[in-house]
A and B are shown apart, each in its own frame.
Chain A
Amino acid sequence: MNVDSVYPKVREIIADVLVVDEKDVSLQKRLIADLGAESIDFLDLVFQLEKEFSIKIPRGQIEKNARGNLSEDEFEKGGVLTAEGLLSLKNYLSEIPAEHFKDNMKMNEIPMLFTVETFCKLIVAAVNEQTVTEKAV
């Protein structure tokens, strides 16, 4: 499973959740800035993706994945990303153009970066993790 294989279904779900035309959805589109997503849409989207792919996506999973091996304090201080945290985020969200990141970025600004591809990657990671867990059991 990879981004290409999950993209058609993710695209269909995003179009449905955001009530936009499927042809307006592409991998590079940002959910908030380009497709008009609001916070309730993210809840809806995660719920629909969980149902479709039979996975669980804990709240804040993207931020957690982006943090990697950094501690919470190393990643952010007082709701603002540290330099190390920003680098880690850039590395994780490699699909997002560098100009969309900014210094002293706030944690609550991270969702502004999310693209359709970000969610495809999230699905692939969650499915792979679940497969590993199932094999271990």
Chain B
Amino acid sequence: MEDIKEIIRKYVINEYLEEGEEITYDTPLISSGYVDSFSMVSLLVFLENKFKIKIPPSKATPEAFDSVNKIVDLVNQFINK
């Protein structure tokens, strides 16, 4: 089964990046401008749908969404809770 990290990375590439752009697990997403604060909302909805979790607004900060690795850390806090 594809791991969480790769699922999120592929989703970000498909949904938010322009053709030909690539990211690693550590590429800054918000502070680099790849994902803006408005688009972050759709990324949040994706995570909640995909992993059947609920992330409270206080945890959904630009800092927590700023790389695939950081998002994985966030998601792991809520999986199986």
**Do the two shown chains form a genuine complex with each other?**
no
Which residues in B have some Cβ–Cβ distance to A below 8 Å?
none
